[in-house]
Structures are given as C-alpha cells and as structure tokens.
Amino acid sequence: MNTTTEKAVLTDTETLKEVVDCLKENISINTQSDYQQTDLFNILVGTASRADTVENTAATLKNSWTGRNIRYHLSKFKNFQELEKELNQSLITKLPRRIKKRKHKLALDLNLIPYYGKPTEQEQDYIYRSQAKNGTCSFFAYATIYIIAKNKRLTIAVIGLKKSYTNVAIITYLLDKIQSLNLKIKTLYLDRGFYSSSVIRWLMALDIPFIMPAIRNGKTGGINQYLKGQKSYKTTHTLNKDKDNEVTFSLWIVCKYLKGNQCFYFYRGKSSRQ
C-alpha cells in the first residue's frame, strides 16, 4: 500500500490575496467601493513585486485603473507618519506565534533610492544625504529591521528617514518597534551604512551583541594596518582619534581566497572590554 504526503503550498494568487487583505485591514484609503480598494492594492503590490510601473501593471492585469487614477488616490495620503504607523501595524499582524517571545537574529538595513531634481517643500525633510551613488548624493531613504530565520527575511518594522535623523536615532526607533513583540536579540546585524563610533558605543551601552562590516578608508592606516598574513584572526581596533568620541571594539579579519586572489573581510562586534 502506497501512501503519499502532500506538502502545503501557498500559490501566488493566495499570497496576493493575503497581502491585499492585510493592507485593507490596516491601511485606510478612501475609494468608492471595497472592490476598487482591492483593485488599487492589487496594482500596488504587483508593481512593487515586479519592480514595474503602475501603468504597465494595470495594463497587464487588464484593469480599468489608469496611472493618473492610481496617483490621485495615492495623493490622498497626506500624513506620512500615520501611513508609516499603519504599514508597521500591517507587518506585525500576520507574524506567526512562534516568532514572538523568542530569541532571534535581527538585521538592520539602510535602503537608498536616488533622487534627482529640486525637492518640493513637502519632500525637503525627507531628502537624505549620503555617499554619492548613481550620480547623486541625495536620496529618498528608509530603514528596516527584520528577522533572519532559516535563510529567510521577515520584515517587522520600517521607518522613512528624514535628513535630521542620526544613525543612533534610527536604531533606537526600530528597536523600540519590536518591544511589543518581546523579541530577544541573539545577534544584531547591521550594514556598513551604520559604521560610526556613536553607533558602536550605543550598542555596547545597550549590551546588544552585534556584527557589521568595518569600513576601509584610504590606502594606509586605519583598517589597512591589519591586512597582513594569510590567516584570519581577531584583534582590537580604536575608531576616531578624538578622545571624547573614540571607541575600542573587537575586530575580526577574515581572509578568503576568491578565484586565486586573496580577499579580506572585516567584521566587528562587541567591545573588547565585555
């Protein structure tokens, strides 16, 4: 007698419906009917998942909506902070129960969208300045915090960045967003955009285990002094010469070989004092 085990599979259609239903429950936007609201979110989710335009997505879905009509409804969102609050609520409403009240690996990412031209008065506060990329130093930017589980990402909070926000403020905001979930941090991973003495000192003060790439500046000094030998090793490094702003932390130099060429990767963690 043969027995078969069927594995549950969530189809694209079912996934889309779950996402749209979640958005409808948490994000308030006025349309003439519930059907129109469903159409609007279908197009927006489709546009985002395909990295396409709203016009192309609407045409592909054979929908009566036009790009002008969609943008008209999007222009109804006047309160960005309220929209951000609703988006964050939608992210946590569908979290599996097994996620809450447990220890996880968490990661913080900075995401920069190149901005060109002259910003409007409404946009001005959200033009984030950073290192030049794609021909500009101006960006729309947002930061996310997500759980890393079984090589998958589960985003649990997002924040749109104003030009006045410091990296410490961004981290504090995102960590505060997960407090209600009672998550414990096994390790916090941060991208290189957070590399600074103020961030390192803050995470050390919070006693949070963390890992992020160290930035190599210039051809001599700094991290360059550790690029020696053919083996990976651990050392300590002091960032900033200013005594009032310096910080000492553990630094891992990871030596790898890629297609016969020697490469170094730099990681850093908690202070050597701890």
Q: 88 and 140, same structural domain? A: yes
Is residue 5 one of the residues assigned to a domain? Answer: no
% of the chain with per-residue pLDDT over 70: 86
Q: 255 and 227, same structural domain? A: yes
Is residue 24 one of the residues assigned to a domain? Answer: yes
Q: 266 and 227, same structural domain? A: yes
Among 145, 163, 194, the domain boundary falls at 194
pLDDT over 90 at 146, yes or no:
yes
Q: Rounded to 5, what percent of the chain is helix, strand, coil?
A: 35, 30, 35
% of the chain with per-residue pLDDT over 90: 25
Place of tokens 């209600």: 180
Q: Region 125-154: what's the mean pLDDT?
A: 90
Bigger pLDDT: 94 vs 24: 24
Is residue 6 one of the residues assigned to a domain? Answer: no
Instruction: Report residue 108's pLDDT band, with 50, 70 and 90 as the boundaries.
Output: very high
Alpha-carbon distances, residue 88 vs 93, 211, 264 (angstroms): 9, 25, 37
Q: 88 and 61, same structural domain? A: no
pLDDT over 90 at 225, yes or no:
no
Burial of 225 (0-12, 13-18, 19+ CB in 10 A): exposed
pLDDT over 50 at 272, yes or no:
no
Q: 89 and 182, same structural domain? A: yes
* Cα 92 to Cα 101: distance, rounded to the nearest angstrom: 13
**pLDDT at position 2:** 45
* Cα 239 to Cα 226: distance, rounded to the nearest angstrom: 14
Q: 186 and 87, same structural domain? A: yes
Among 55, 77, 99, the domain boundary falls at 77
Structure token digits, residue 180:
């209600």
Is residue 203 one of the residues assigned to a domain? Answer: no
**pLDDT at position 267:** 62
Is residue 205 one of the residues assigned to a domain? Answer: no
Q: 120 and 86, same structural domain? A: yes
Count of domains for the chain? 3
Q: 72 and 87, same structural domain? A: no
Q: 151 and 164, same structural domain? A: yes
Domain, as residue range, for 28 = 12-77
Among 77, 109, 126, the domain boundary falls at 77
Q: 154 and 137, same structural domain? A: yes
Is residue 28 one of the residues assigned to a domain? Answer: yes
Q: 172 and 95, same structural domain? A: yes
Instruction: Report residue 274's pLDDT band, with 50, 70 and 90 as the boundaries.
Output: very low
Q: 104 and 148, same structural domain? A: yes
**Side chain identity at 178, as an amino acid letter?**
I
| Nearest of 213, 217, 189, 223 to residue 203 by alpha carbon | 189
3-state secondary structure 130-166: EEEECCEEEEEEEEEEEEEECCEEEEEEEEECCCCCC
Instruction: Report residue 8's pLDDT band, with 50, 70 and 90 as the boundaries.
Output: low
Q: Give the tens place of pLDDT for each residue, 44-98.
A: 998 888 888 888 888 887 767 888 888 888 888 888 889 999 999 999 888 888 8
In whole numbers, what is the pLDDT of the chain averaged over residues?
A: 83
DSSP letter (8 states) at residue 78: -
**pLDDT at position 251:** 86
